[in-house]
Amino acid sequence: MKDISTHKLERLERLIDGARRISIVTHMKPDGDAMGSSVAMYGFLRSCGKEDVKIVLPDRFPSNLDFITAGLPSGTILTHESGARAAEAAIASSDLVICLDFNAFHRADRLEKVLRSSSAAKVLIDHHLNPDRAPFAVSFSETEISSASELLYHVLTAMPQIGGDARRLPAESATALMTGMTTDTNNFANSTYPSTLEMASSLLAAGVDRDAILYNLYNRHSENRLRLMGHMMKDLLTITADGVAYIVLDRKTQLEYHVEEGDTEGFVNMPLSIESVKMSLLLKEDAGLVRVSVRSKKGISANMCARQHFNGGGHENAAGGRLYIPGDIADVTQAAAYVERHTHIFMTEEDEK
Ligand code: 5GP
Ligand code: MN
């Protein structure tokens, strides 16, 4: 690990030792990696004897991840969306804030303001490109890695309490780390490095029940979700002459299929199974904006496309962004034309390189 030095680990250890109240914060619309790394950090801090630790979320996490949070004492997770005051108070009164799986405060959305005004020491553990390190007393940022959960695994196992032995991780942390790595790699389909398999091997040897994780992640969905997937791939998918696949999922369709947070996870990758498709976008209508997910094949930068055309960013082959309504488009019916125009500009510029 390039970015895990003894010096930084010692600083992290000192910050944890000296902290009385700690907030763990992750990005908006938290996914498996965001929740996995947060729950794992929580378990570790509790095992260090820290009593006042909260996980503070900008908004709700998908219910299919509740198996990793089920064992937490009630009141551990504070969600700004449903309790702004308590969430802000937790961060404002913390002396240590640990930021996981995001590279800049604006990615914490509703929590951005309180993060900026907090005088607590802050720690970053993240795997996205272009991190804003300035606000952080210590930052661990690695992009050649599967997930924030994997990076956290390497940080935690390097701490003296764990001493390189994954069996010493609290059981709930080990399960949460395996979960975050599994969702961010799409169950080992992408971003899988030698270090990722080493982590998986050590966690399995430490007794993590991977079958139970896979069951919880992939075999507990609703019938609606599968039928929606069929509808999206059959009726809503467009493929442009530039080899860009895109789907616009408007609110009406989301209501029709009772779409819940996390239900469309993974769908954006599916069109990449077509040989001629080089990049895939999923646009989901939300309040005042359309959320954009971008995935690309080797040689095409989803990150650059999201940065240049969709007010976002992320990783080289998996990124996200948004189109503002009004602003970028007047309403969702214009999303398709926007995608066609902007991906054409992007793909033809890529070709010229
Ligand atoms: P998703 O499509 O699953 O929402 O996001 C794909 C990846 O890009 C995730 O790792 C996510 O954290 C990241 N991402 C999504 N939106 C943004 C954004 O606006 N900025 C940055 N830097 N990363 C993003
Ligand atoms: Mn992640």
Q: Which atom of ligand 1 is nearest to the CA of 314?
A: 23
Contacts of residue 105, defined as CB under 8 A and 6 or more positions apart, other chains included, come to 111, 112, 115, 116, 132, 135
Q: Is 321 in the pocket of ligand 1 (CB under 6 A)?
A: yes
pLDDT tens across 305-340, in order? 999 999 999 999 999 999 999 999 999 999 999 999
Q: Which atom of ligand 1 is nearest to the CA of 291?
A: 4
Please state the pTM of the whole predicted model: 0.94
> Ligand 2 is a single-atom ion; what residues have CB below 5 A from it?
33, 101, 147-148, 184
Q: What is the mean pLDDT of residues 251-256?
A: 97
Q: Which residue minimizes the CA distance to atom 2 of ligand 1?
A: 293
Give the Å distance between the CA of 352 and the centre of ligand 2.
31
Q: Which atom of ligand 1 is nearest to the CA of 312?
A: 19
pLDDT tens across 172-229, in order? 999 999 999 999 999 999 999 999 999 999 999 999 999 999 999 999 999 999 999 9
Given a contact cutoff of 8 angstroms between Cβ atoms, the answer to whether 290 and 325 are in contact is yes
pLDDT given at position 288: 95
Q: What is the mean pLDDT of residues 232-242?
A: 98
Q: Is 318 in the pocket of ligand 1 (CB under 6 A)?
A: yes
pLDDT given at position 353: 52
Nearest partner of 176 among 146, 155, 137, 203, judged by Cα: 203
Looking at the chain, the whole-number percentage of residues with pLDDT higher than 70 is: 99
Q: What is the mean pLDDT of residues 14-38?
A: 98
User: Could you give the count of Cα atoms lying within 13 Å of 338 in the half-sphere of its Cβ?
Assistant: 24
CA 173 to chain centre: 17
Helix (H, G, I), strand (E, B) or coil at 217: helix
75 burial level (CB within 10 Å; 0-12, 13-18, 19+)? exposed
Q: Decide if pLDDT at 261 tops 90.
A: no
Q: Which-ligand-closest: CA of 101?
A: 2
Q: What is the mean pLDDT of residues 98-120?
A: 97
How many angstroms separate the CA atoms of 38 and 13, rounded?
Answer: 17
Residue 3 pLDDT level (bands cut at 50, 70, 90): confident
Q: Decide if pLDDT at 161 tops 60.
A: yes
Q: Decide if pLDDT at 19 tops 60.
A: yes
Nearest partner of 29 among 278, 263, 316, judged by Cα: 263
Q: What is the mean pLDDT of residues 129-154?
A: 97
Strands 244-249, 238-239: parallel, antiparallel or unpaired by DSSP? antiparallel
Q: Supply φ then ψ for residue 28, to 5 degrees.
A: -60, 155
